[in-house]
Amino acid sequence: MEVLGKPLVRKEDAALLSGRGRYADDIAEPKRTLQAHVIRSPHAHAMIGRIDARAALEIPGVVAVITGEDIAKISDPFLVAVKADVPQWSLAVERVRYVGEPVALVLAETRYIAEDAGEAVEIEYQQLPAIIDLRAAREKTSALVHESAKSNEVHTRAFTYGDPDAAFKAAHKIVKMTSEFPRQSFMPMECFVVVSEYRPADDSYEVMANFQGPFSTQPVMARACRVPGTRFRIKTPADSGGSFGIKLSVFPFMVLCGLASKIVGRPVKWVEDRLEHLVAASSGPNRITEVEAAVDKDGRITALKLDQIEDYGAFLRAPMPGPLYRMHGALTGAYAIQNLSVVSRVVMTNKMPSALIRGFGGPQMYLTLERLVQMIAREMGLDHLEVIKRNLIPAGSFPYKTAAGSLFDSGDYPRCVELATGGGRLEALMKRRDDARKSGKYYGIGFAAVVEPAMSNMGYLSTLLSPEAREKAGPKNGAVSLASVRVDALGAVSVTADCVVCGQGHETVLAQIVAEQLGLRIEDITVNLELDTANSDWSIAAGTYSCRFTPGTAVAAHIAAQRIRDKLSRIAAKQLNVLHTDIEFVKGKIRSKSNPDNAMAFGRVAGTAHWSPIMLPDGMDPALRETAVWAPPELTPPSHDDRINTSLTYGFVFDMCGVEIDPVTCEVKVEKYVSMHDAGRLLNPLIAEGQIRGAFVQGLATALYEEFVYDDGGSFLTGTFADYVVPTATELPELELMHIESPSPFTPLGAKGLAEGNCMSTPACIANAIADALGVENVQLPATPARINAMISGEEPARPAHVAPRQGIASAGTGGAKQKDARQIKGSGSVQVSASPEKVWEALLDPENLKSVIPGCHALEVVGPNDYRAEVSLGVGIIRGRFKAQVKLTDLKPNQSGRLGGSISGPLGNSSGTGLLKLVPDGGGTRIDYDYEVAVFGKAAAVGGRMIEGAAQIVISQFFAAFGRKLGGAPEKKSLAKRLGSLWGGKGTTK
């Protein structure tokens, strides 16, 4: 091997280091392109009322405001893999189902104008109860995310392999646990970018986007636009600022911008910003898994029962529910367990839709399985590592058929464990643990063993259908990879392939593969990976996902290069007068092995194929271009008994770590981390290491930092990088990497995927170390200081009602989506006035009076009986500007009580509240008692909720103070001041 397998530096880097990358937003857009701004739902669940765009359309430079109604007229809902009625268009139609859901699209000459106009569009919503908690969503009484689906659990399938019941009956012990995997994303640094153009002449769409595939969604997009696939052309740019699965989810916007272009007759560009990305781009699914293991007296697992409940948020976008089935064949992980029962459930909630994410189902599954193994050790008084070893698939049993049908290609798991724990590594950690514990610190050691699948069998998703339904639909299977190698008339070599650039160094590795075959240097090979569905090699399996590059695209390139090599050697053999088997390719020469002086320059031989077909061997076609299709036979469809080989190659990862937990700050410090990999042959060790290190820090983020947090009402609370904490170099632990190579027998290169392993292993390994350190059973990730604190000293007492919880690392802790009252505040107060209850009542129903007491009110319009719309100017803290307010009086009991409901919306989002008023006669005058609740939605909740709440409280106080003044009673000045003080952290009269 001259070039392949060497740690060569990357071809990509020179441009990227000099600011000459060609990312999606760097490319000049077509002339007359309009810039788009997406108006998004501030509510988790609501009916969309009137959308009034008149004011927006008056702003110079604004061209159109497009709504779901417009979109629904010219497009169809996206196809869904599951048989459930959960239609989704590229804009919300009639109803919004998650905070951040696109509701309307503003098109303008510049992005600044489009955003201004977005603020001027008025949208009315009628709020519905939000379904946020995954468990609650499954209850029979739960409100529905999609009424048409009749249930929030839109898919359930049970599977049995072997005889789990018998194994459970015969078990020495049964160990049970529940694991919960949080919502998060791996957050690429570049957000979504789309430029779409509709061409009326042939009713076609041309879309440039930083889309990563899978291209199985291309037909979904085309169908939505009601055109054949050939008329929905997708181009991807030369560079992309990271994907990690997330850039699948740009696809609804590719359709949206295309439809918008059709409506206005001009190209449309949209660049997502970080707030939009955090709130609504894509999330990994959160999952609850109930698991039980039947264990023999030595700690060997004889059977597993899994109930996997996965939360896909508001919609099921193709190819969901992938994460629930991608690991299906490998559900027993690295262990020899032949009895298995599984229930897989897909549940809808009012959260952002879940989709592809690096690891794709593996992190969820291994957190369960690896925590379970640790629990087994604990409950049986055995050593954790010993239990792992006893259960591992033994060396020498490959290819190994798992219970659910995967065919593990190669490996030596016990050896990996020996190597990683050997060399004094484990001893050093144990010594550290002993020392730390002696000095009163929390210290734990964790392990995780993970089988890492790569290149998914396209048929895996059909496992969700019953065998009968599959029979009817016809078998689905395989994974096609395509690559082309061309040699021009001067001998210059170029490569194209069916992967999408996301930063993994594919250009370099493809050059290595081809250079290796042709005896050239990587500098001699030009690789172009700008995919264009109108003229590139691609199939529905194309794209960059599920580690398909190494076992897939790379192999196709290898085969194409071999064919070119074969053709060139036959041409050269004829001219050099030797047998073609005597030909070798060395350093730019094609020569006779037996007589190296008998040689021709590579370019000369190549030239023959172009210039002199007459000199070619008989029957050979001129020109030099080979397109190889690689479709490994191991990827068969699901069998009648539901066994499925979900992937082609299966690598192995064994991790070990030591963590110290500070008893005061409750911070988890990963002191030492060892990660052992067997990914078959490494094509470029430098790039391989980069992939592993990157995945490791993402796994670390899952374990300790990153989480999308919603409150009970569905407001999204982590809308900035200050709230959604991405680790930086400062959080980086010491990481030692090790490798062995067990080449895969199922691919000619012997290489397996390796870029997702640590996303799967690291969260589990760290969770196990935390469990070991604290001696706890339940480790909820991310293990933020607040959660660690709860593990050490029990749940915190409930917060006093008037104190808003803080966000960020220190608080995501109280339990993610279960967080109580996170953006809702309650309070009460009273005002004494000299007027009688009758007078007060009259004043309350009098719009003119209301106008004069609503703080900052310019105009009050009566829209119905006791129903008003007002325009107000506010200036409280950062909350400044003109807001629209709605005020409505209901539950009226004349002269006694009533309910005052209101909402304001403005530049930062919406806030709504209700207050119950009671009029109590009091010595000739009246005491007005009031209770109120305020909730904050949308952007405001995500980025500045605390400020908005404070402002809302002040406004309420001002309202009652003014109301009281108006009716002749002096407000309690002291109390008001105190009340104001309390909003900013002090203690006041709000109870």
Given the rule CB under 8 A, which residues bind other proteins? Answer: 9-10, 12-14, 16-21, 23, 25-26, 112, 186-191, 239-244, 273-274, 502-505, 686-687, 689-698, 720-722, 726, 728-730, 732, 735
Measured CA to CA, the distance from residue 546 to residue 458 in angstroms comes to: 11
Whole-angstrom Cα distance, residue 410 to residue 890? 70
Our CB check for ligand FES shows the closer of 287 and 506 to be: 506
Footprint of ligand FES on 477-506 (CB under 6 A): 503
Shortest distance (Å) from residue 520 CB to other proteins: 21
Which of ligand FES, other proteins, none is residue 18 near (CB under 5 to 8 Å by kind)?
A: other proteins
Nearer to ligand FES, 272 or 678 (CB): 272
Q: Which residues, including other chains, have CB under 8 Å from residue 327's CB and lie 6 or more apart?
A: 361, 362, 365, 453, 646
Strand partners, 107: 36, 64
| Identity of the residue, 273 or 838, whose beta carbon is nearer to ligand FES in the bound complex | 273
Residues 776-815 that bind ligand FES (CB under 6 A): none
Q: What does 292 interact with, of other proteins, ligand FES, none (CB < 5 to 8 A by kind)? A: none
Give min distance, CB of 503 to ligand FES, in A: 5
Q: Closest CB to ligand FES among 189 and 729?
A: 189
Q: Out of ligand FES, other proteins, none, which partner does residue 16 contact, by CB within 5 to 8 A per kind?
A: other proteins
Where does residue 94 fall: left (phi above 0), alpha (psi -120 to 50 degrees), or beta otherwise? left
d(CA 807, CA 868): 35
Which single residue is written with the structure tokens 């490994």? 632
Q: Which does 504 bind (CB under 5 to 8 A by kind): other proteins, ligand FES, none?
A: other proteins
Ramachandran class of 538: left when φ > 0, alpha when ψ lies in -120 to 50, beta otherwise: beta
Question: At its nearest, how many Å lie between other proteins and the CB of residue 511?
Answer: 15
Shortest reach from residue 188's CB to ligand FES, in Å: 7
Lateral strand order in the sheet of 46-52? 95-96, 46-52, 122-127
696 touches, from ligand FES, other proteins, none (C-beta below 5 to 8 Å by class): other proteins
Given ligand FES, other proteins, none, residue 383, with its beta carbon under 5 to 8 Å by kind, binds: none
Q: State in angstroms the smallest separation of the CB of 190 from ligand FES.
A: 8
**Cβ-contact 48, 40 below 8 angstroms:** no
- Strand boundaries in 422-522, DSSP class E: 442-456, 481-487, 493-497
How far apart CA 359 and CA 698 sit, in angstroms, is: 10
Contacts of 441 (CB under 8 A, 6+ apart): 660, 661, 662, 663
Provide CB contacts within 8 A for 5, sequence distance 6+: 681, 682, 683, 684, 685
Binding partner of residue 730 among ligand FES, other proteins, none, CB cut-off 5 to 8 Å per kind: other proteins
Q: Which of 759, 763, 762, 782 is nearest to 358 (CA)?
A: 759
Cβ at position 273, least distance to ligand FES in Å: 10
* 145-174 positions binding ligand FES, by CB under 6 A: none
Q: Is 50 left (phi over 0), alpha (psi -120 to 50) or beta?
A: beta
Q: Shortest distance, CB of residue 909 to other proteins, whole angstroms? A: 16
Task: Answer with the entry of other proteins, ligand FES, none that 933 interacts with (C-beta below 5 to 8 A by kind).
Answer: none
Q: Quote the CA–CA distance of 704 and 683 in Å, as a whole number.
A: 32
Angle at which helix 425-438 crosses helix 413-421, to 10 degrees, equals 50
- Can you say whether the dihedral through the CA atoms of 543, 549, 554, 559 is positive or negative? negative
Number of residues that bind ligand FES (CB under 6 A): 3
687 binds, among ligand FES, other proteins, none (CB under 5 to 8 A by kind): other proteins
Residue (244 or 360) nearer to ligand FES, CB: 244
Name the binder of 273 from other proteins, ligand FES, none, CB < 5-8 A by kind. other proteins
Q: What span, in angstroms and rounded, lies between the C-alpha atoms of 780 and 182?
A: 8
Shortest distance, position 633 Cβ to other proteins, whole Å: 33
- Residue 481 or 691: the one with the smaller Cβ distance to ligand FES is 691
Interaction between residue 17 and ligand FES (CB under 6 A):
no
Nearer to ligand FES, 148 or 728 (CB): 728
Q: Is the dihedral of CA 464, 465, 466, 467 positive or negative?
A: negative
Interacting positions 240-259 with ligand FES (CB under 6 A)? 242
Strands 95-96 and 268-271: unpaired
String of DSSP letters for 38-64: EEE-SSSSEEEEEEE-HHHHTSTTEEE
Closer CB to other proteins, 186 or 710, in the complex = 186
Among 1, 17, 28, 189, binds ligand FES (CB under 6 A): 189
Selection from ligand FES, other proteins, none that 343 binds (CB < 5 to 8 A by kind) is none
Q: What is the four-CA torsion angle of 93, 98, 100, 101, rounded to 10 degrees? A: -20
- Min. distance of Cβ 210 from ligand FES in angstroms? 13
Report in angstroms how near the CB of residue 16 gets to ligand FES at its nearest.
8
Residue 503 or 837: the one with the smaller Cβ distance to ligand FES is 503
Closest to other proteins by CB, 17 or 201: 17
815 binds, among other proteins, ligand FES, none (CB under 5 to 8 A by kind): none
Which of other proteins, ligand FES, none binds 693 (CB below 5-8 Å, type-dependent)?
Answer: other proteins
Give 678 or 756: the residue with its C-beta nearer to ligand FES: 756
CA 813/CA 790 separation, integer angstroms: 9
Rounded Cα–Cα distance for residues 235 and 78 (Å): 20
CB of 21 to ligand FES, least distance (A): 11
Q: Which is nearer to ligand FES, 227 or 726 (CB)?
A: 726
Say which amino acid occupies 133.
Answer: D
| Residue 697 binding result from other proteins, ligand FES, none, given CB thresholds of 5 to 8 Å by partner type | other proteins
The amino acid occupying position 631 is: A
With CB cut-offs between 5 and 8 Å by kind, which of ligand FES, other proteins, none does residue 698 bind? other proteins
Q: Which position's Cβ is nearest ligand FES?
A: 189
* Of 243 and 339, CB closest to ligand FES: 243
Which of 150, 145, 261 has its CA nearest to residue 196? Answer: 261
Cβ proximity to other proteins, 158 vs 878, nearer residue: 878
Query: Which listed option, other proteins, ligand FES, none, makes contact with residue 726 (CB within 5 to 8 Å by class)?
Result: other proteins
The answer to whether the CB of 486 falls within 8 A of the CB of 510 is no
112-140 in b/e burial notation, b at 16+ Cβ within 10 A? ebbbbbbbbbbbbbebbebbbbbebbbee
What CA–CA distance (Å, rounded) separates 432 from 259? 61
Nearest-approach distance from CB 185 to other proteins, in angstroms:
10
CA distance 481 to 506: 14
Q: How far is the CB of 723 from other proteins (least distance, A)?
A: 10
| Distance of closest approach, residue 450 Cβ to ligand FES, in angstroms | 24
By C-beta, is 674 or 889 nearer to other proteins? 674
- Report helix, strand or coil for 983: helix
Least separation in angstroms between residue 275's CB and ligand FES is: 12
Question: What type of residue is 842?
Answer: E
- Distance of closest approach, residue 194 Cβ to ligand FES, in angstroms: 20
Rounded least distance, CB 95 to ligand FES, Å: 34
Nearer to other proteins, 368 or 550 (CB): 550
**Site of interaction with ligand FES (CB under 6 A):** 189, 242, 503
